[in-house]
Chains A and B, each alone.
Chain A
Amino acid sequence: MKATLEVINRMRTDGVIGKYAIGGAVGATFYLEPSATLDIDVFVSFQTAPGSSLITIAPVYTYLTSHGYKAEGEYMVIEGWPVRFLPPGDALTEEALEQAIETEVEGVRTWVMTAEHLAAIALKTGRPKDCARILQFIESGILDTNRLDSILSQHGLLAKWEQFGHRFFGDDK
Protein backbone atom coordinates (compact mmCIF):
# COMPACT_ATOMS: atom_id res chain seq x y z
CA MET A 1 0.00 0.00 0.00
CA LYS A 2 3.01 2.25 0.50
CA ALA A 3 3.56 2.42 -3.27
CA THR A 4 -0.15 3.14 -3.83
CA LEU A 5 -0.04 6.07 -1.43
CA GLU A 6 3.12 7.39 -3.08
CA VAL A 7 1.28 7.52 -6.41
CA ILE A 8 -1.74 9.28 -4.84
CA ASN A 9 0.59 11.80 -3.19
CA ARG A 10 2.27 12.42 -6.55
CA MET A 11 -1.16 13.09 -8.06
CA ARG A 12 -1.63 15.71 -5.37
CA THR A 13 1.78 17.28 -5.98
CA ASP A 14 1.09 17.31 -9.73
CA GLY A 15 -2.19 19.15 -9.11
CA VAL A 16 -4.47 16.38 -10.37
CA ILE A 17 -6.30 16.13 -7.07
CA GLY A 18 -6.60 18.41 -4.08
CA LYS A 19 -6.70 17.33 -0.47
CA TYR A 20 -7.58 13.67 0.09
CA ALA A 21 -8.52 11.44 2.99
CA ILE A 22 -8.72 7.68 3.36
CA GLY A 23 -12.09 6.42 4.57
CA GLY A 24 -13.80 3.02 4.68
CA ALA A 25 -12.17 -0.08 6.11
CA VAL A 26 -8.61 1.15 5.54
CA GLY A 27 -9.40 4.41 7.30
CA ALA A 28 -10.98 2.53 10.20
CA THR A 29 -7.82 0.41 10.49
CA PHE A 30 -6.01 3.53 11.70
CA TYR A 31 -8.10 3.26 14.91
CA LEU A 32 -9.22 -0.38 15.10
CA GLU A 33 -7.89 -3.85 14.50
CA PRO A 34 -7.57 -4.50 10.74
CA SER A 35 -10.52 -6.13 9.00
CA ALA A 36 -10.28 -7.69 5.56
CA THR A 37 -10.91 -5.36 2.65
CA LEU A 38 -10.10 -5.56 -1.03
CA ASP A 39 -10.02 -1.87 -1.88
CA ILE A 40 -9.16 1.61 -0.68
CA ASP A 41 -11.75 4.39 -0.52
CA VAL A 42 -10.10 7.73 -1.10
CA PHE A 43 -12.26 10.82 -0.66
CA VAL A 44 -10.82 13.60 -2.68
CA SER A 45 -11.54 17.14 -3.71
CA PHE A 46 -11.73 17.18 -7.50
CA GLN A 47 -11.24 19.92 -10.01
CA THR A 48 -14.37 21.05 -11.81
CA ALA A 49 -14.44 20.78 -15.59
CA PRO A 50 -13.43 24.07 -17.28
CA GLY A 51 -16.50 26.25 -17.80
CA SER A 52 -18.68 23.89 -15.78
CA SER A 53 -19.70 23.38 -12.19
CA LEU A 54 -19.68 19.60 -12.67
CA ILE A 55 -17.11 17.63 -10.74
CA THR A 56 -15.14 15.34 -13.00
CA ILE A 57 -12.93 12.36 -12.36
CA ALA A 58 -11.55 12.55 -15.91
CA PRO A 59 -8.17 14.14 -14.98
CA VAL A 60 -7.58 11.34 -12.44
CA TYR A 61 -8.37 8.70 -15.05
CA THR A 62 -6.25 10.41 -17.72
CA TYR A 63 -3.30 10.87 -15.35
CA LEU A 64 -3.34 7.31 -14.08
CA THR A 65 -3.84 5.64 -17.45
CA SER A 66 -1.00 7.74 -18.88
CA HIS A 67 1.16 6.34 -16.09
CA GLY A 68 0.24 2.78 -17.02
CA TYR A 69 -2.48 2.09 -14.44
CA LYS A 70 -5.73 0.43 -15.43
CA ALA A 71 -9.36 0.98 -14.57
CA GLU A 72 -11.42 -1.92 -13.24
CA GLY A 73 -15.07 -0.97 -12.98
CA GLU A 74 -15.33 1.89 -10.50
CA TYR A 75 -11.73 1.40 -9.36
CA MET A 76 -8.31 2.42 -10.59
CA VAL A 77 -5.79 -0.29 -9.79
CA ILE A 78 -2.70 1.44 -8.40
CA GLU A 79 0.30 -0.68 -7.47
CA GLY A 80 -1.89 -3.72 -6.86
CA TRP A 81 -4.63 -2.00 -4.85
CA PRO A 82 -8.03 -1.12 -6.35
CA VAL A 83 -8.61 2.50 -5.37
CA ARG A 84 -12.02 4.17 -5.52
CA PHE A 85 -11.78 7.94 -5.80
CA LEU A 86 -14.88 9.49 -4.28
CA PRO A 87 -15.92 13.14 -4.34
CA PRO A 88 -17.36 14.35 -1.05
CA GLY A 89 -21.04 13.82 -1.84
CA ASP A 90 -22.44 15.79 1.09
CA ALA A 91 -21.55 18.21 3.87
CA LEU A 92 -20.58 15.35 6.19
CA THR A 93 -17.92 13.88 3.88
CA GLU A 94 -16.79 17.37 2.96
CA GLU A 95 -16.17 18.10 6.64
CA ALA A 96 -14.53 14.68 7.11
CA LEU A 97 -12.15 15.47 4.27
CA GLU A 98 -11.41 18.91 5.67
CA GLN A 99 -10.69 17.65 9.19
CA ALA A 100 -8.73 14.52 8.22
CA ILE A 101 -5.73 13.59 10.35
CA GLU A 102 -2.24 13.49 8.93
CA THR A 103 -0.32 10.28 9.51
CA GLU A 104 2.14 8.06 7.66
CA VAL A 105 2.46 4.54 6.32
CA GLU A 106 6.05 3.30 6.24
CA GLY A 107 7.29 6.87 6.02
CA VAL A 108 4.78 7.97 3.38
CA ARG A 109 2.59 10.90 4.39
CA THR A 110 -1.15 10.35 4.17
CA TRP A 111 -4.48 11.52 5.63
CA VAL A 112 -7.18 9.54 7.40
CA MET A 113 -10.67 10.64 8.44
CA THR A 114 -11.30 11.05 12.15
CA ALA A 115 -12.89 8.13 14.01
CA GLU A 116 -16.02 10.21 14.69
CA HIS A 117 -16.44 11.08 11.01
CA LEU A 118 -15.91 7.47 9.98
CA ALA A 119 -18.56 6.37 12.49
CA ALA A 120 -20.98 9.08 11.33
CA ILE A 121 -20.47 8.16 7.66
CA ALA A 122 -20.96 4.47 8.51
CA LEU A 123 -24.18 5.37 10.33
CA LYS A 124 -25.42 7.34 7.34
CA THR A 125 -24.50 4.55 4.88
CA GLY A 126 -26.10 1.93 7.12
CA ARG A 127 -25.08 -1.35 5.44
CA PRO A 128 -24.54 -4.37 7.73
CA LYS A 129 -20.75 -3.95 7.48
CA ASP A 130 -21.12 -0.29 8.45
CA CYS A 131 -23.13 -1.26 11.53
CA ALA A 132 -20.41 -3.78 12.44
CA ARG A 133 -17.79 -1.03 12.13
CA ILE A 134 -19.76 1.32 14.38
CA LEU A 135 -20.00 -1.43 16.99
CA GLN A 136 -16.22 -1.92 16.74
CA PHE A 137 -15.71 1.81 17.27
CA ILE A 138 -18.01 1.81 20.30
CA GLU A 139 -16.34 -1.27 21.80
CA SER A 140 -12.87 0.20 21.29
CA GLY A 141 -13.81 3.25 23.38
CA ILE A 142 -11.92 5.45 20.92
CA LEU A 143 -14.82 7.74 19.99
CA ASP A 144 -14.91 11.21 21.51
CA THR A 145 -18.61 11.27 22.43
CA ASN A 146 -18.88 15.07 22.55
CA ARG A 147 -17.32 15.36 19.13
CA LEU A 148 -19.50 12.57 17.73
CA ASP A 149 -22.65 14.16 19.19
CA SER A 150 -21.76 17.46 17.60
CA ILE A 151 -21.16 15.84 14.18
CA LEU A 152 -24.37 13.78 14.39
CA SER A 153 -26.40 16.79 15.43
CA GLN A 154 -24.88 19.06 12.78
CA HIS A 155 -25.62 16.58 10.01
CA GLY A 156 -29.10 15.51 11.12
CA LEU A 157 -28.10 12.02 12.20
CA LEU A 158 -29.21 12.01 15.86
CA ALA A 159 -32.47 10.14 15.16
CA LYS A 160 -30.58 7.52 13.17
CA TRP A 161 -28.10 7.16 16.05
CA GLU A 162 -31.02 6.61 18.45
CA GLN A 163 -32.42 3.93 16.15
CA PHE A 164 -29.00 2.30 15.98
CA GLY A 165 -28.84 2.27 19.79
CA HIS A 166 -32.27 0.68 20.11
CA ARG A 167 -31.48 -1.89 17.45
CA PHE A 168 -28.17 -3.06 18.91
CA PHE A 169 -28.36 -2.24 22.59
CA GLY A 170 -32.10 -2.26 23.29
CA ASP A 171 -32.77 -0.66 26.66
CA ASP A 172 -29.08 -0.74 27.66
CA LYS A 173 -28.29 2.44 25.73
Chain B
Amino acid sequence: MSEWMRKVLESKRQMRKQIAALPFSEKIKILEKLRDRSLAIASNPLRRRSFHRG
Protein backbone atom coordinates (compact mmCIF):
# COMPACT_ATOMS: atom_id res chain seq x y z
CA MET B 1 0.00 0.00 0.00
CA SER B 2 1.31 3.43 -0.94
CA GLU B 3 1.99 6.11 1.66
CA TRP B 4 -0.69 8.28 0.06
CA MET B 5 -3.31 5.53 0.38
CA ARG B 6 -2.29 4.86 3.97
CA LYS B 7 -2.86 8.56 4.76
CA VAL B 8 -6.28 8.52 3.09
CA LEU B 9 -7.36 5.46 5.06
CA GLU B 10 -6.05 6.87 8.32
CA SER B 11 -7.85 10.15 7.70
CA LYS B 12 -11.09 8.27 7.03
CA ARG B 13 -10.63 6.28 10.24
CA GLN B 14 -10.10 9.48 12.21
CA MET B 15 -13.19 11.09 10.69
CA ARG B 16 -15.32 8.04 11.57
CA LYS B 17 -13.94 8.13 15.09
CA GLN B 18 -14.83 11.82 15.46
CA ILE B 19 -18.37 11.26 14.21
CA ALA B 20 -18.81 8.23 16.48
CA ALA B 21 -17.78 10.39 19.45
CA LEU B 22 -20.58 12.92 18.85
CA PRO B 23 -23.49 13.00 21.33
CA PHE B 24 -26.30 10.55 20.51
CA SER B 25 -28.72 13.40 19.68
CA GLU B 26 -26.28 14.78 17.11
CA LYS B 27 -25.79 11.37 15.55
CA ILE B 28 -29.57 10.87 15.35
CA LYS B 29 -29.79 14.13 13.38
CA ILE B 30 -27.18 12.77 10.94
CA LEU B 31 -29.14 9.51 10.76
CA GLU B 32 -32.28 11.45 9.86
CA LYS B 33 -30.44 13.25 7.06
CA LEU B 34 -29.07 9.95 5.75
CA ARG B 35 -32.58 8.51 5.81
CA ASP B 36 -34.02 11.49 3.91
CA ARG B 37 -31.29 11.11 1.32
CA SER B 38 -31.91 7.37 0.96
CA LEU B 39 -35.63 7.98 0.51
CA ALA B 40 -34.97 10.69 -2.09
CA ILE B 41 -32.68 8.36 -4.04
CA ALA B 42 -35.17 5.49 -3.78
CA SER B 43 -38.01 7.66 -5.10
CA ASN B 44 -36.02 8.92 -8.09
CA PRO B 45 -37.94 7.93 -11.26
CA LEU B 46 -34.75 6.98 -13.10
CA ARG B 47 -33.79 4.58 -10.35
CA ARG B 48 -37.28 3.09 -10.23
CA ARG B 49 -37.28 2.64 -14.01
CA SER B 50 -33.95 0.83 -13.98
CA PHE B 51 -35.12 -1.28 -11.06
CA HIS B 52 -38.24 -2.39 -12.95
CA ARG B 53 -36.15 -3.26 -15.98
CA GLY B 54 -34.15 -5.50 -13.69
Contact = CB atoms under 8 A, between A and B. Distances in A.
Interface string B3-28: 00000000001001101100011011
B16 A34 contact: no
Interface string A35-49: 111100000000000
A33 B20 CA distance: 4
Interface centre among B13, B17, B31, B37 (most CB of A within 10 A): B31
Contacts of B39: 38
Contacts of B25: 104-106
Contacts, number: 49
Interface string A95-138: 00000000111100000100000000000000000000000000
A102 to B, nearest CB: 11
17 contacts: A29-B28, A30-B24, A30-B27, A33-B20, A34-B19, A34-B27, A34-B31, A34-B34, A35-B34, A36-B37, A37-B31, A38-B38, A103-B24, A104-B24, A104-B25, A106-B28, A140-B17
Given A34-B19, A36-B34, 14 more contacts: A26-B31, A29-B24, A29-B27, A29-B28, A29-B31, A30-B27, A31-B20, A33-B16, A36-B31, A37-B34, A103-B24, A106-B28, A140-B17, A140-B20
